[in-house]
Structure 1
Amino acid sequence: MIQTIDFQIEALKDMKKYPKLFYLGNLALLNSKKISVVGSRKPNQYARSLTQELCSKLSAHGVTIVSGGAIGIDAIAHKSAGAEHTIMVAGTGLDTRYPAINKALISDIEQKGLVLSQFESGTTSKKYNFPLRNELIVALGEILVVAYGDLNSGTSRSVEYAQKMGKEIYVFPHRIGESEGTNKLLQDGIAKAIYDIDSFVSMFEEESQNRIEADEFLLFCRKNPNYEDVIRYDAQKLFAYELQGKVEVKNLKVYVL
C-alpha cells in the first residue's frame, strides 16, 4: 500500500524545496549509507560492465544504490545492487510502474527495497517531472556517480544539483569520443575518476567498519531490533547514542545512523 513519509530526512534539506514523499517498501534503507548512480539510457558496453561491478561490490559492503529506474544505467545499477539494496526514485505516481519495460524490476524493488516519489497517485510521465526526480536522487546519495553521459544530456542537470549541494562527483574514465559529458567533467576538474573499483569501494568499507568496530551495542542495533529489546540490552547506551546521533528510534525499532 502506498504511504506517505511522515518524518524529515536530513539529506533532503539541501533541496530547493523539501518534498512531500510517497513510498512503497523498506524505509530502513534511508538509514544506510547511500550512493547515487545515474547515466545515459544508451551506455556503451564498457560503462555497463563497470556499473555492474561497482554497484554489486558496493552493495556487498552495505551501501545502498539510489537511481531512477530508467532503462540503461539506472536499471543496471538497481539490478547489480540487488533489489534489497536499492532505492528507486520514480518520476510518476507510485500507482504507475514506469517505464513499463522495467515493470518486473520495479515490482521487485517495491517488495524488497524502497521506491519513492514526490508525485501523487495518478501522476503520469511528464517531461518536467524528471528534473525534480533527479534532484531527489542526488540529494539522497552522499556522493554522485555518473557512469556515462553525453554532452548536454539529462545527467548534466544531476551534476548541477550535486554541485549546488556540495557533493563529490565521480565518473569512469572513457575513451576519447565516448561519454564526452563525463570526460568534460574530468577535464574541467568537476569530477574525480574511478580508476580502480576495488579501491573506490574500500573507502566505504573502511568507513563502515570504523563506525561500528569494537562496539557491541551498535552491532546489536544493526539488526534493527525492537525498542523494548534494546532497552533491556542497554537502556543507558541507547539514550546516550540517540543524543549523539548514532542511532534512531522509529516505529518502535532502532536503526544505526
Structure 2
Amino acid sequence: MMDLWIECENCYELNYKKFWKSKMNVCEYCGYHLKMDSSDRIEFSIDSGTWNPMDEDMISLDPIQFHSEEEPYKDRIDSYQRKTGLTEAVQTGTGQINGIPVAIGIMDFKFMGGSMGSVVGEKITRLVEYATNQLLPLILVCSSGGARMQEGSLSLMQMAKISSALYYYQTIKKLFYVSILTSPTTGGVTASFGMLGDIIIAEPNAYIAFAGKRVIEQTLNKTVSEDSQVAEYLFHKGLIDSIVPRNLLKGVVTELFQFHNFFSLTKNERN
C-alpha cells in the first residue's frame, strides 16, 4: 500500500506517488521541499534534448586504503553505484536553460550522502574550467554531507582546488556563477564552493550548516536552536541572497543570466 504514497517528513501527510514527480517532490499539504535526485533535477531544469554529460566514467579509487568495521570503501562505492545508477555523487555537464547555454553540476545526496571525494572535486573543477574556456555561466546545485572521510585529506584538498578554479572563473574572467543550496548542504561544500556564488540561492527550509547541530552541542556544551541552520534564518542574517521555491527556480535563474548578458541561442544556433 505504501508504494502508492509518500509521507512528508515535515507534516507526515501522505502524498500520492503518481503526482509526486510532477509536483517536484514538494508536499502538497505544507509545501515542504523533500530531497530530489540529480537526474530528476536535470529533467526539470535543463531544456529537453540539450543535456550533455561530462566525465561520467570517472570513479573513485581507494587512495588511503580506508578500512572500516562495516565494509571496504571499494565495496561501498560499488553498492552505491548499483543502487543509484550513478558513478559518483555529482553529475556534471552542459545544457540549455530556456535556450541559454550553461555549465551545470548537480550533487546527489543518495550517493554516499553527497559526500565530496577526489572524483566529485575533480568533476566540478573540470566543469568550472570548461565553463571558463567556453565563457559559459555556471550553476552548482549543492546537496552534501561534506568532505568524504574515506579519502582523508585528499577530499579536503578538493575544497581548495575547486575554489581556486572558481577564483579564475569569477575574478580573472569575470564570469557568472550561481550557487543553489538544497537540503542538506553542510561541511566542506558549505565551506568552499557552496558559499562562493556571485548569487547564492537556497530552497525553502533547506538545512545549511558547516558543523551539524549535534557536533556543535557536544563541542561547546551549548544548545543550538532548531532554526539557526535553516535557509530562512541564514537569509535574515545576510548569508544567502534569495530563497526560491523549486517551481520558480528555472525562471529566476533565466532572468539572472539575462541580466548578466547571457542570452538564449537563436533557432539556427540551437540546431
- What TM-score does the superposition give when structure 2 sets the normalisation length? 0.32
- What TM-score does the superposition give when structure 1 sets the normalisation length? 0.33
Relative contact order (alpha carbons < 8 A, sep ≥ 6): 1 or 2 greater?
1
